[in-house]
Amino acid sequence: MALLEVKDLEVEFPLGRITLQAIRKVSFSLEKGERLGIVGESGAGKSVAAFSILNLLSRPGRISGGEILFEGDDISKFDDRQMRSIRGNRISMIFQDPMMTLNPVLTVATQMIECLKAHRKISKKEAWDISVSKLKEVMIPSPEERMESYPHELSGGMRQRVVIAMALLTDPEIIIADEPTTALDVTIQAEIMVLMLDLCKSNNVGLILITHDLAVVSQVTERIMVMYAGRVVEEGGTKEVITNPKHPYTRGLLKALPQENTAGSRLNQIRGTMPSLNALPKGCAFNPRCDFATKECHQVVPKLEGRDGHNTACIHLEKIPSFKSELGNQ
């Protein structure tokens, strides 16, 4: 049995008379120690999916269907008290901007000890020692002094390390990282990603990495899930999907990477923008932006199908040339 299994998850936001479907029939699973990447443009529903796992959707958002099984229990039906024993304890989350996620008026020590004390019955001294050891684990120099610091006294990279240390405090089984490196500069990004990868491997922690940075995903994760307009359009082993993407959207994303272009030429982009949730096109939501779209695409919602764990939601898979030959033609 998988550690976390999400089945046919549906999330909707009722707004007055209309109801927006942010997530439509999304299913995925995560084994212990596995690293899954969720990629997609802004508004594809990545963050909403992550928040719904912890049942922390902001109002009026709600889970309208499906199951979220954590060790076999459907945690989407848990009440607040039961949920609190899972949040931060067995599933932690790391946010985008470490400047915002740390409370500006409390010291690192206060915040870490608070977090531990919310879940464990331990003394302040024990909590202090655990916190210091976790700060050491994320390679923060002189952790005892840093414990007394306020967030504004730390650099961006340092803050994100503190946030990661806080996520690891209670030795969770799963960490959900929502664009953990977006707010950092590029050199620090790599450091933090390597650190997270090492920590996940050494502690056997499952990681759900939400990002739009394909380079990061390809370095860190084992499996990848591409989302578009609330649906999964392609999923599979990271290496397989990156080298042999089948869905036109995944291809578009990969082609848009600067390293796929010859120097000096115009950068590739997927034309158009993500459709608004209240005006999704009929059929395949990607059809207005797709080079291969036909009449059929406007009628049928493609199913996620495929072989060897590499699934794609597109009805024209046979017609579309392989990714390598397409790149060669340019």
Partner 1 sequence: MGKPHSEVSGAKIMTRIKSFLNSDFVYRFRKDKVAVVSLGIVLVLVLSAVLAPLISPFDPYDLKSIDIMDSEIPPVWDENDGDERFLLGTDPQGRDMLSTILYGMRISLMIGFFAVLLQGILGVTIGLLSGYLGGKIDAFFMRLADIQLSFSTLMVAIITLAIFQAAFGAELYSKLAIFMLILVIGIAEWPQYARTVRASVLAEKHKEYVDAARVIGMSPARIMFRHIFPNTLSPILVISTIQVANAIISEAALSFLGLGMPVNQPSLGSLISSGFEYIFSGSWWITVIPSFFLVLLILSINLLGDWLRDALNPKLYKD
Of 226, 174, 220, 172, nearest to 198 by C-alpha is 220
Q: Which residue has the tokens 């359009």?
A: 233
102 lies in the site for partner 1, by CB under 8 A: yes
- The residues facing 29 across adjacent strands are 5
300 lies in the site for partner 1, by CB under 8 A: no
124 lies in the site for partner 1, by CB under 8 A: yes
Q: How far is the CB of 103 from partner 1 (least distance, A)?
A: 5
Length of the chain: 330
Reported in sequence order, the residue ranges of 218-321 that DSSP labels E, i.e. its strands, are: 223-228, 231-237, 305-307, 310-312
Which one, 7 or 117, has the nearer CB to partner 1?
117
Q: How far is the CB of 327 from partner 1 (least distance, A)?
A: 39
Applying CB under 8 A, among 30, 68, 75, 115 the residue interacting with partner 1 is: 115
Which one, 128 or 292, has the nearer CB to partner 1?
128
Q: Are strands 223-228 and 206-211 parallel, antiparallel or unpaired?
A: unpaired
Q: Which residue has the tokens 């120099």?
A: 141
Which one, 86 or 229, has the nearer CB to partner 1?
86
Per CB under 8 A, the segment of 94-102, 240-248, 264-272, 318-326 that binds partner 1 is 94-102
184 lies in the site for partner 1, by CB under 8 A: no
Which one, 119 or 316, has the nearer CB to partner 1?
119
CB-side neighbour CA atoms (13 Å) of 73: 7
Kindly list the strands in the beta sheet with 35-39, ordered across the sheet, starting from the edge strand earlier in the chain.
Answer: 91-94, 174-178, 206-211, 35-39, 223-228, 231-237, 310-312, 305-307
Q: What angle do CA 323, 328, 314 make, to 5 degrees?
A: 20
106 lies in the site for partner 1, by CB under 8 A: yes
Rule CB under 8 A: which of 25-54 touch partner 1? 54
Which one, 94 or 226, has the nearer CB to partner 1?
94
Per CB under 8 A, the segment of 108-116, 234-242, 253-261, 277-285 that binds partner 1 is 108-116
What is the DSSP annotation of 197-216? Answer: HHHHHHHT-EEEEEES-HHH
Task: Identify whether the C-beta of residue 83 lies closer than 8 Å to the C-beta of residue 42.
Answer: no
Applying CB under 8 A, among 19, 85, 243, 278 the residue interacting with partner 1 is: 85
136 lies in the site for partner 1, by CB under 8 A: no
Residue 305, burial from CB neighbour count under 10 angstroms (0-12, 13-18, 19+): exposed
Which one, 116 or 314, has the nearer CB to partner 1?
116
Q: How far is the CB of 109 from partner 1 (least distance, A)?
A: 6
The conformation of residue 233, written as its DSSP 8-state character, comes to E
Which one, 199 or 314, has the nearer CB to partner 1?
199
Which one, 132 or 297, has the nearer CB to partner 1?
132
95 lies in the site for partner 1, by CB under 8 A: yes
For binding to partner 1 (CB under 8 A), which residues are involved? 54, 56, 83-89, 92-93, 95-97, 100-106, 109-110, 113-115, 118-119, 124-125, 128-129, 132, 144, 147-148, 163, 166
